[in-house]
Amino acid sequence: MSDGNQSPVSFKVVGHRPIRPDGVDKVTGRAQFGADFHLPGMLTGRIKRSPHPHARILKIDTSAAEKLPGVKAIVTGADLDVGAGGDIEAGEHAAAMKDVAANVLASGKVFYQGHAVAAVAATSPEIAAEALDLIEVTYEVLPHVIDVDEAIAAGAAVLHDDMFTKGVTPKPAKPSNVAQRHVMGRGDVKAAFAAADVVIEGRYTTAAVHQGYIEPHACVASWGADGQSTIWCSSQGQFLVRAMTARILNLPLSDIKVIPAEIGGGFGGKTTVYLEPVALALSRKCGRPVKLVMSREEVFLASGPTSGASMDIKLAATKDGKITGAEMELRYQAGAFAGSPVNLGCMTAFACYDVENLALVGLDVVSNRPKVAAYRAPGAPMAAFAVESAIDDLARKLNMDPIDLRILNAVRDGAKTVYGATVRYSAFVETLEAVKAHPHYQAKLKPGQARGVAAGFWFNIGGESSAAVHVDEDGGATVVSSNPDIGGSRASMAMMAAETLGLPIERVRCTIADTTSIGFSGSTGGSRVTFATGMAVVEAAQKVVADLKRRAAQTWECDIAHVEYRDGVATCLDPSKDAKPLSIKALAGKSAKTGGPIAAEVSLNAQGAAAGYGVHVCDLEIDAETGRTTVVRYTAAQDVGRAIHPAYVEGQLQGGAAQGVGWALNEEYVYNAKGLLDNASFLDYRMPVASDLPMIDTILVEAKPNPRHPYGAKGVGEVPIVPPLAAVSNAVSALVGKRMTALPLSPIVVLAAMGKA
Amino acid sequence: MAHVVSISSKVRDLTGGLDAFDVEAATVRGLIRALEARFPGLGELVEAEMSLAIDGEIHQDAMAEPLGPASEVVLIPRISGG
């Protein structure tokens, strides 16, 4: 349910719940995903992967495979040419292109089990598989390290000889697995702890978890005889795929066209490339289209999960509950190459709270795991797990209501965050108050149940976006978006255009353009599309409205200042004219007589995104015999600015909460002593399914629409995965009578905490 | 005179450990130019990898954004997301 907070402004389309435009295609199987494309003469690609977690490649012998009938091309890392390297904007940070290339196809060393070392294109899947077996790779196996704390310990196997910790002065003399040390803070933390009435301490760990998108990575690449190439793929950004592929193969951007397929989930994990440059390199070699599709095992082995983390936290507080200081060290797994979201963990850890004295250190640590990729609110859920657990400890120690304690310490507009921004347009306090007043929080627990509360934050971003609005000859409109739709953006784009044009939503359709058909856009991620691309859509629609008014004025031979446009109809306000109103349909039908087609395209760099805050409440019970935890009631509340399509927003809250519950209770990468992953399948990697969860209630708090967006939107997709880890863990801790500090809280862990293992 | 504050260790590496300093600039473009002149490599780093919180509001690649005579500019790691 939604609490029905009503917007102060009544819109005709925005804020309503039209049927989702992609629903029929998806439930009938008509939607075209990455693996659904077939071209004449297309070959099957397969990738040979490392069986070792860490090894030097001494030799790759492809001669036997090349002789196998049906094999048309084989590529290795030697076929990539990243040139000068450099960085490129990716899901959670600027990605070093030499690392992206070395992750796509290994060069010199393999850094994790499943690391790609060669690829083959053949006339059938069977021949491709046989060819992989014929490729002989000679390795010198090296010592490996998997755990983040072990990776920074003295004597750990070092992955990269050229990795000297950045952020340390003077520059270290020896290489290590710590790629970078981030430091941030303010105030006098020592003095805060010296004066504290209460000190809370803890060490917390979380496991690496995968985004778990249903659709594996897939693409088709076709190299043209004229050097013009086309890639069909499922991704969170067709422009990102084009840029990365061009850089890895040293090609001009204009030689590559990327056509976005329907996407079967991304959650941040599809903000990089794994297959596209390989498929195009194969196609370049043999001149035929090549399809590459990962198996689920390959998805787990070789595509980015998010970081596992190890964290130490210490809070100082007064006896009244005011948090006066905090220290925290966060150590995040980056996987095989530098670039964990630990800096974002540092920045978000205390973003919900107004704490005067803070000292945060973040370590970006490489180990023999797949390179991490973005996952909803990258870096924030782990940090929030530690912070929200410590705050729960503080509430219990002071015998305070956990929401009252959070309200006491909550950031309010005007507060300064540790990362430098001033809090604006925030409704965190209103969100906490909405939860406190909600029937869920007021309800009494049954015997054997416990309740956990936790909060979360995400910045939300804007950035570069392009969109076009075309008015059709019959008065309907088409919106051309530059962003793949992973969370309902086709609906929200069409709705904002319809609202601006004064059309019913049924007369506006939204399509996702390829890289040659619309201006550049950043990827779909960071909860930016409804805000930034939405801004482009609204500005394009406003240009169309201005053009419609101009055409009406021209038709009536009146001053444009005398034309009013409302609800899809232009009216002449000049009393000297006997002019009948002109609908958008009438104006569109005669567009040739007033200047030609009616359309506008806008490209912009959206600034002014507003942060989001969430508060979750989780009731659960534990089976004392098996240790299985069952969530019996769950409510997710969020400061959403204004919900453009409330049902989609509720879906974002519910999806994020479900993923966070899985992170808290079951999900983890399980490595054995040989550094090999033991659970690379959905059978053994336990994600929650519908029957594991209750209906998740939602509260959309619309107290502070973002004034920097035409319809008040804030990003909503990231925040909901931040609070669940601690919301669940706080409830489990209450039930077992012991602070749970290591996720996941699998049955065996819970039984052990209950003294029954 | 913009007051520049950094929370980034990468910045500290280029400023000889300075976390806060004043720079004469009327726009973000001018600020980046001034940073590069004073701390070689810093302007390039800020342009390529950082966002700016100008008087509290985060800006990314907003080269024409004006800076007031007493603006506070915080250099922060570029924020993206999933």
Confidence grade of residue A526 (pLDDT, cut at 50, 70, 90):
confident
The nearest CA of chain B is from the CA of A652 a distance in Å of 13
By C-alpha distance, which of A444, A457, A378, A365 is closest to A411? A457
- Write out pLDDT tens, residues A702-740: 999 999 999 999 999 999 999 999 999 999 999 999 999
A1-23 CB burial, b ≥16 within 10 A, e <16: ebbebeeeeeeebbbbebebbee
Q: Residue A77 carries which DSSP code? A: G
Using alpha carbons, list the distances in angstroms from residue A214 to A181, A283, A296, A353, A719.
35, 27, 9, 36, 21
**Token digits for A573?**
């306000």
3-state SS, residue A329: strand
Residue B56 is nearest to which of A167, A269, A421, comparing CB atoms? Answer: A421
Position A367 confidence tier, pLDDT thresholds 50, 70, 90: very high
Domain coordinates of chain B in residue numbers?
2-77
- Of B9, B48, B58, which has the smallest distance from its Cβ to A167's Cβ? B9
Listing from the earlier edge strand, what are the strands of the sheet with A309-317?
A: A178-186, A357-366, A323-335, A309-317, A198-206
Task: Compare CB distances from A169 to B13, B59, B80 and report the shortest one's residue.
Answer: B13
What does the mean pLDDT of chain A come to?
A: 95
| Binary contact (A93, B57; C-beta < 8 A) | no
A393-415 residue pLDDT tens = 999 999 999 999 999 999 999 99
DSSP code string of A504-559: -GGGEEEEE--TTTS-----S-TT-IIIIIHHHHHHHHHHHHHHHHHHHHHHHTS-
Q: What is the mean pLDDT of residues A62-77?
A: 98
Kindly tell me the burial class for residue A720, based on how many C-beta atoms sit within 10 Å of its own C-beta (0-12, 13-18, 19 or more).
buried
The partner residue sitting opposite B57, judged by closest CB among A87, A266, A421, is: A421
pLDDT band for position A2 (50/70/90)?
Answer: very low
Q: d(Cα A339, Cα A207) in Å, to the nearest integer? A: 17
Q: In the CATH scheme, what is the homologous superfamily, with its name and number, of domain B2-77?
A: Beta-grasp domain (3.10.20.30)
User: Cβ of A459 and B79 within 8 Å?
Assistant: yes
pLDDT at B72: 92
Between residues A478 and B9, the one the model is more confident about: A478
pLDDT for the residue numbered A1: 34
- The per-residue pLDDT for range A125-155, each reduced to its tens digit, is 999 999 999 999 999 999 999 999 999 999 9
| Cβ contact B68:B26 at 8 Å | no
CA of A362 vs chain B CAs: smallest distance (Å): 10
Residue numbers in B near A377 (CB within 8 A): 81-82
As a whole number, mean pLDDT of residues A506-524 equals 97
CB contact (8 A) between residue A93 and residue B80: yes
B12: chain A residues, CB-CB within 8 Å: 167, 169, 183
DSSP assignment letter at A565: E
Q: Which residue of A419, A523, A718 to mutate against B (max B Cβ within 10 Å)?
A: A419
* Residue B64 at interface with chain A, using a CB cutoff of 8 Å: no
Pair of tokens at residue A743: 């996720």
CA B61 to chain centre: 11
Cα dihedral B73, B76, B80, B82 sign: negative
pLDDT of the residue at A9: 60
Tell me the C-alpha distance between A670 and A675, whole Å.
Answer: 9
Tokens 């925040």 belong to which residue?
A: A719
d(CA A145, CA A197): 41
Any A CB within 8 A of B47 CB: no
Q: What is the mean pLDDT of residues A28-52?
A: 96
Separation of alpha carbons B63 and B48, rounded Å: 12
Say what the pLDDT of residue A92 is. 53
Q: Which residue has the higher pLDDT, A744 or A9?
A: A744
Q: What Cα–Cα distance (Å) separates residue A12 from each residue in A100, A281, A312? A: 46, 50, 50
Do the Cβ atoms of A609 and B58 come within 8 Å? yes
The reply to whether residue A89 touches residue B77, judged by beta carbons under 8 angstroms, is no
A648-691 per-position pLDDT tens digit: 999 999 999 999 999 999 999 999 999 999 999 999 999 999 99
Q: Does A343 touch chain B (CB under 8 A)?
A: yes
Which of B48, B49, B80 comes nearest A91 by C-beta?
B80
Domains of chain A: 42-142+214-265+270-302 (3.90.1170.50), 305-460+610-753 (3.30.365.10), 463-606 (3.30.365.10)
Cβ contacts of residue A296 below 8 Å, gap of 6+? A216, A680, A681, A682
User: Which stretch of A86-95, A199-208, A480-489 has the lowest confidence by average pLDDT?
Assistant: A86-95
Mean pLDDT of A13-33: 94
CA dist A119 → A38, A44, A112, A150, A680 (Å): 19, 10, 17, 33, 21
Predicted confidence at residue A96, as pLDDT, reads: 87
